[in-house]
Amino acid sequence: MKSNGAQILINSLQSEEVEYIFGFPGGAVLHIYDALDTQDEIIHVLVRHEQGAAHAADGYARASGKPGVVLVTSGPGITNAVTGIATAHMDSIPMVVISGQVPSPLIGMDAFQEVDATGITRSCVKHNFLVRDINEIASTVKKAFHIATTGRPGPVVIDIPKDITIEQITPKSYPKEIEMRSYKPTVKASNRQIKKAAELILNSQRPIIYSGGGCVIGNASNELREFTRMSGFPITQTLMGLGAYPGSDELSLGMLGMHGTYESNMAMYGADCVIAIGARFDDRITGNLDKFCPNAKFIHVDIDPSQISKNVVADIPIVGQVKQVLEVLNEELKDKKLQDISKWWSQINSWREVDSLAYRKKSGVIKPQTVIETLYEVTKGEAIVTSDVGQHQMWAAQYYMFDEPRRWINSGGLGTMGFGLPAAMGAKLAMPEKDVACVTGEGSIQMMTQELSTMLQYSTPVKIINLNNGYLGMVRQWQEFFYDKRYAMSYMDALPDFVKLAESYGHMGILVEKEADLKPAMLEAFKQKERTVFVDIKTDPTENVFPMIPAGGAHCDMLLAGRDEMVSKDETDLNAV
Amino acid sequence: MRHIISVLLENETGALSRVSGLFSQRGFNIESLTVAQTNDPGLSRMTIVSTGNDRVLEQIVKQLNKLIEVVKVSDLTSQDHVERELMLVKVCPTSKDELDIKQLVDIFSCKIVDVTEKTYTIEISGKTKKINAFLNALDSAIIMEVSRTGVTGISRGKKAILK
Ligand SMILES: Cc1cc2nc3c(=O)[nH]c(=O)nc-3n(C[C@H](O)[C@H](O)[C@H](O)COP(=O)(O)OP(=O)(O)OC[C@H]3O[C@@H](n4cnc5c(N)ncnc54)[C@H](O)[C@@H]3O)c2cc1C
Ligand SMILES: Cc1ncc(C[n+]2csc(CCOP(=O)(O)OP(=O)(O)O)c2C)c(N)n1
Ligand SMILES: [Mg+2]
């Protein structure tokens, strides 16, 4: 029996065991929607904006570890999705995006709703395809999933001209394997390099483990725990790595970088051996490269060779899957005697005493930090927390202790405001049993409120924790520090009534203006298992995120809360350790 | 440092723009770029001349390797190799220059490949230096136009890009 291209496409997606497609229809994909309608294996989630589709698929992928799938029409459909695709790309999230294209004969004719989708997305995808032949649909889908999910994961776009979805052929069975001579992601790491790393580790006096998103993406949490506990080394995690190692554990120093803890950054500065595992030395981590870890040798484990020695030259590069590398490394270190690092720990503990996340409560205002602490308490640290971008994101990262991977879902690389809500919807679909909270700000949430409608339609109960400080707070903070308090455009004078907004979408809304009401409101919100609840919390508009390393600063130059002067600890005598 | 980078890649639409896009996106410079199909019609070979220090070159090679369609990348400059460039130059000599031109063509052992009433088209191939020298030796007033292929290259001896 013959099938058209659209049916072949949908069958291919079924073969890939796709559960959900996040999408929005339009002319170029009508045949695909028609084919979707006659099956019930895949559930299509109709978003309200294509950017929401991409973020929701992304949230689904981050929570489940499976690739997210998006379907959009040509022209404005795919351009709307670009922000979401770029967001996934920057954070190495597996995603397959199918975009309709104008019929093949019209390509290049400035046809209605034509954009050069592969051209536009080229620099923000892992790969993209323009399908030119109906016979290539199945193999292209196979390749797309293979590329998106192996090696360093990332989004793949498949652009399909409408005529190809209409054409009919007798389909072949879906390919079981795919062989690409030009794509062979490295799988097994060099044992020699791992042995060298083990040697450096055994000789280090002031080691630190710096782990990142690669440990989450690569499902290497257990191996990371084993490595850290066996070595007894201090561990600091990037914004993207949080949870791979339990944040509440005593070996954990918390996050590092621009808004990292004092002890993390000081330990990086003082270390003689930095073991980077699935982290990419982002500029929010390194600050001033000339002053980055001035005394350290670097071991760098990454699946992507181009990340190694990009910003910081690795002394011992190891290209491979974190999981496999750590398995071998753990075996290598078993029963070996490490250096006594108790002096290093006592130095670190003295940095810990600075208590860099301490903050002072003020009567009459709700501190944003308190909100996150309350969220942590009410959810017993077990919720999946998504976030938008800004101060609230940093507070969520600092004050919610993530003890498991895939519980913390945020846009780190691109820093996309609007990410949080649709990502929470995707995460809830992936993990229906878990409580999902979206920590957001009144600025960010307004970029995606339309998805509240989708969330009603598909019953994805999420708790929205809006840290409403009345400002684009992160922008305001920089203006306070670096622009002489000239607050250009960081204030919005016409905020909606978020409670009514939520209610008009059929959800529940709670306004919190007093600290005493905070915990009861959250308890109430989480009691509503079947409903999305928008908790709008008026927080201190003047609060800033501390610690902070100003752009271009070194790890030892930190602004701490409640101090007017920058603490600069360059003089710390590390050789004494 | 100047580097000649050979890239073997799947002969697919869009592959060229992926490579050139990569260079502009990451701020790598391109002195020249040539591309054509190889003996295997499924594969194209590209030769890129770029400049940069070792760190930059390392990134260029790694980023090229990361492109899904790229099969093999090789830095020819780091090995024994042969490099060539071809130039066509059209000149309109006055009668008194004609002799000079024929002499130059002899000295540089290149060829006059087309002659019309008023113009000569000369073909020269060799290393970039030789081509530059030839161009400098010509009286700039008589040069009508120049078309150069950019450098292409191949390693010497038993080694081949895929073996
Ligand atoms: C407002 C704001 C403030 C920020 N402040 C900070 C801050 O203070 N501190 C901070 O840490 N970040 C901060 N960030 C985030 C920052 O921009 C980067 O996104 C983040 O630091 C990158 O994390 P990562 O190094 O873990 O890399 P990721 O982006 O998570 O990349 C993962 C790395 O692991 C590799 N990898 C993937 N899978 C595997 C595998 N299976 N095996 C081996 N390797 C693998 C990849 O190739 C990649 O190199 C901030 C972002 C925003 C928006
Ligand atoms: C799409 C987008 N535009 C602009 C920015 C720049 N930006 C970063 S944080 C921020 C302020 C966010 O305000 P809000 O959501 O209220 O969070 P707050 O910082 O107040 O917690 C802005 C504008 C961004 N990250 N993303
Ligand atoms: Mg705000």
Rounded distance from Cα A539 to ligand 1 centre (Å): 28
Q: B84 CA to chain A: closest CA distance, Å?
A: 27
Contact A459, A530 (CB under 8 A): yes
**What confidence score (pLDDT) does residue A569 get?**
59
Domain stop point among B50, B79, B108 = B79
Same domain, B99 and B145: yes
Contact residues, chain B, for A123 at CB < 8 Å: 21, 25
Closest alpha carbon within chain A to B17: A119
Res. A576: pLDDT tops 60: no
**A162 catalytically annotated:** yes
* Best mutation target, A139, A182, A303, A310, to test chain B (most B CBs within 10 A): A182
- Ramachandran class of A557: left when φ > 0, alpha when ψ lies in -120 to 50, beta otherwise: beta
Total structural domains within chain B: 2
Q: B141 CA to chain A: closest CA distance, Å?
A: 42
- Rounded CA-CA distance A249/A72 in Å is 43
B94 occurs within a structural domain: yes
Same domain, B95 and B60: no
**What confidence score (pLDDT) does residue B94 get?**
84
Same domain, B51 and B88: no
Catalytic residue among A142, A162, A428, A463: A162
Catalytic residue among A113, A205, A339, A446: A113
Chain A segment 106-125 residues within 8 A of B by beta carbon are: 118-119, 122-123
Res. B104: pLDDT tops 50: yes
pLDDT band for position A179 (50/70/90)? very high
- Ramachandran class of A108: left when φ > 0, alpha when ψ lies in -120 to 50, beta otherwise: left
Same domain, B35 and B104: no
Res. A197: pLDDT tops 90: yes
Same domain, B130 and B72: no
Residue pLDDT, tens place only, A302-336: 999 999 999 999 999 999 999 999 999 999 999 99
Residue pLDDT, tens place only, A422-446: 999 999 999 999 999 999 999 999 9
Verify whether ligand 1 is closer than 6 Å to residue A73 (CB atom): no
Q: A130 CA to chain B: closest CA distance, Å?
A: 9
Owning domain of residue B61: 2-79
Same domain, B92 and B125: yes
Q: What is the mean pLDDT of residues B81-87?
A: 97
Same domain, B70 and B30: yes
Rounded distance from Cα A217 to ligand 1 centre (Å): 11
Residue pLDDT, tens place only, A108-117: 999 999 999 9
Burial class (CB in 10 A: 0-12, 13-18, 19+), A328: buried
Q: What is the 3-state secondary structure (H, E, C) of A433-447?
A: CCCEEEEEEHHHHCC
B26 touches chain A (CB under 8 A): no
Q: Around Cβ A287, how many Cβ atoms within 10 Å?
A: 24
Q: What is the mean pLDDT of residues A186-193?
A: 90
Domain stop point among B79, B99, B115 = B79
pLDDT band for position A574 (50/70/90)? low
Choose the weakest-confidence range: A37-46, A178-187, A189-198, A565-574: A565-574
Res. A152: pLDDT tops 70: yes
Same domain, B64 and B124: no
Verify whether ligand 1 is closer than 6 Å to residue A473 (CB atom): no
Same domain, B91 and B116: yes
Written as six digits, the tokens of B125 are: 């191939």
Same domain, B88 and B146: yes
Q: How many CA atoms lie within 13 A of A361 on its CB side?
A: 10
Q: What is the mean pLDDT of residues A252-277?
A: 97
CATH number of the structural domain spanning residue B138: 3.30.70.1150
Contact residues, chain A, for B58 at CB < 8 Å: 309
**What confidence score (pLDDT) does residue B163 get?**
77
Q: What is the mean pLDDT of residues A488-497?
A: 95
**What confidence score (pLDDT) does residue A562 get?**
77
The count of CB pairs under 8 A between chains A and B is 37
Domain stop point among B63, B79, B95 = B79
B22 occurs within a structural domain: yes
* Ligand 1 atom nearest residue A280's Cα: 25
R_g of chain A computed on alpha carbons: 24
B42 touches chain A (CB under 8 A): no
Say what percent of chain A tops pLDDT 90.
94
B10 occurs within a structural domain: yes
Same domain, B89 and B75: no
Catalytic residue among A90, A417, A455, A474: A474
Q: Is the CB of A182 less than 8 angstroms away from the CB of B17?
A: no
Contact residues, chain B, for A147 at CB < 8 Å: 68
Helix/strand/coil percent split, chain A, to 5? 40, 20, 45
Q: What is the mean pLDDT of residues A266-283?
A: 97
Q: What is the mean pLDDT of residues A44-63?
A: 98
Residue pLDDT, tens place only, B121-155: 999 999 999 999 999 999 998 999 999 999 999 99
Q: What is the mean pLDDT of residues B108-120?
A: 95
B29 occurs within a structural domain: yes
B128 occurs within a structural domain: yes
**A113 catalytically annotated:** yes
- Rounded CA-CA distance A325/A278 in Å is 11
R_g of chain B computed on alpha carbons: 18
**What confidence score (pLDDT) does residue A568 get?**
58
Res. A209: pLDDT tops 80: yes
Say what percent of chain A tops pLDDT 70.
97
B161 occurs within a structural domain: no
B23 occurs within a structural domain: yes
Res. A351: pLDDT tops 70: yes
CATH number of the structural domain spanning residue B18: 3.30.70.260
Look at residues A339, A324, A319, A212 and name the one whose alpha carbon lies nearest to residue A273.
A339
Res. A572: pLDDT tops 60: no
Res. A571: pLDDT tops 50: no
pLDDT band for position B95 (50/70/90)? confident
Q: What is the mean pLDDT of residues B77-102?
A: 91
Q: What is the mean pLDDT of residues A52-78?
A: 98
Verify whether ligand 1 is closer than 6 Å to residue A126 (CB atom): no
Q: B151 CA to chain A: closest CA distance, Å?
A: 24
Q: What is the mean pLDDT of residues A47-54?
A: 98
Q: Is the CB of A182 less than 8 angstroms away from the CB of B25?
A: no
User: What residues are in contact with ligand 2 under a 6 Å CB criterion?
Assistant: A 388-392, 415-417, 441-444, 467, 469, 471-475
Same domain, B21 and B57: yes
B134 occurs within a structural domain: yes
Contact B60, B52 (CB under 8 A): yes
